[in-house]
Amino acid sequence: MGNLLMGIVYGVWTGFGFFKHHWITVKWVLTVAQILFGTFFLGPWVNGNVKLANTLREQAFANDVFQYNFQQSAGWGTAQLLLLLVMLVVSVQKPWGRAVKNNSGY
């Protein structure tokens, strides 16, 4: 969510805009995808395990649903982290050119 808020700040108050550069468009797509995936998948897996742990206590680790949620959140959480690192590299390197050409042809 912080990345989304910073993207809005940069899009509104700087010359980068929202879609003037391909690298910004890539970051927007990745940011929205991560927010949606985190909201509809990672969040329920983590929250489900919290509920199971509160209910089952020490026996939660033997629960199949708990183990499934744990494995999914560990694997996909790592993927989320790697995508965040990719977005960091894209922000620093700015690997693609402008999406919209200005009057000078650039």
Mean pLDDT of 66-92: 95
Mean pLDDT of the chain: 89
DSSP, collapsed to helix, strand or coil, labels residue 66 as helix
Model confidence at 106: pLDDT above 50: no
Q: Are 22 and 97 in contact (CB under 8 A)?
A: yes
According to the model, what pLDDT value does residue 77 have? 95
The reported pTM is 0.79
In whole angstroms, how far apart are CA 32 and each of 7, 42, 70?
A: 11, 14, 24
